């Protein structure tokens, strides 16, 4: 199954101020997610953002907000699965993409539950392994295992960006090549 630019959207789940410092390898997660976001923007792929209970967890961390720029328009939720949040589903339906490229935290809670619900509702979650994490690395490991066993796709930010490019020599390819170096 190839992932195509015209059928894909990005989803950044809950990379928020008060949770982020407790996440395993958070600095690497931040760097990789920014590269993913910048690559998706180069490819003109829409990006959705969620924030879980902002009163308690704060908003999206500033470097992610800055990389999103005009794309930063978060949907606030209290549900663990983004798909259980009616405003999120409404935005997802408006965008009309079936491949959902997912980055965020925590792997074993919101990322896992969102992925399972997306699959159940006809979407294909593409989990970007180097752009998700949890407080405990073991939780991430088992979340990825479960998502993969139930039909989700696992990739990395570099792999998915080049798959979406499809060919070399274009201006988008050149921009993405610089981005991942």
Overall pTM > 0.85: yes
pLDDT band at 181 (very low <50, low <70, confident <90, very high): confident
pLDDT tens readout for residues 133-161: 999 999 999 999 999 999 999 999 999 99
The CATH number linked to 100 is 3.40.50.850
Three-state SS string over the chain comes to CCCCHHHEEEEEECCECCCHHHCCCHHHHHHHHHHHHHHHHHCCCCEEEEEECHHHHCCECHHHHHHHHHHCCCEEECCCCHHHCHHHHHHHHHHCCCEEEEEEECHHHHHHHHHHHHHHCCCEEEEEEEEEECCCHHHHHHHHHHHHHCCCEEECHHHHHHHHHCCCCCHHHHHHHHHHC
pLDDT tens readout for residues 70-89: 889 999 999 999 999 999 99
Count: domains in the chain: 1
pLDDT band at 7 (very low <50, low <70, confident <90, very high): very high
Domain range holding 53?
5-180
């Amino acid at each position: 199954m190839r992932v195509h630019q015209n059928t894909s959207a990005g989803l950044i789940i809950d990379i928020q101020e008060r949770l982020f410092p407790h996440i395993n390898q958070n600095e690497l997660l931040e760097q990789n997610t920014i590269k993913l976001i910048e690559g998706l923007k180069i490819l003109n792929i829409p990006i959705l953002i969620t924030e879980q209970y902002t009163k308690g967890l704060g908003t999206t961390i500033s470097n992610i907000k800055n990389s999103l720029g005009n794309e930063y328009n978060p949907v606030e939720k209290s549900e663990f699965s983004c798909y259980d949040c009616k405003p999120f589903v409404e935005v997802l339906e408006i965008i009309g993409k079936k491949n959902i490229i997912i980055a965020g935290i925590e792997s074993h809670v919101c990322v896992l539950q969102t992925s399972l619900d997306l699959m159940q509702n006809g979407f294909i979650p593409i989990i970007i392994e180097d752009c998700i994490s949890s407080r405990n690395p073991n939780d991430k490991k088992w979340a990825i295992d479960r998502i993969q066993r139930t039909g989700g796709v696992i990739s990395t930010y570099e792999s998915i960006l080049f798959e979406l490019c499809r060919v070399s020599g274009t201006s988008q390819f050149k921009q993405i090549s610089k981005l991942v170096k």
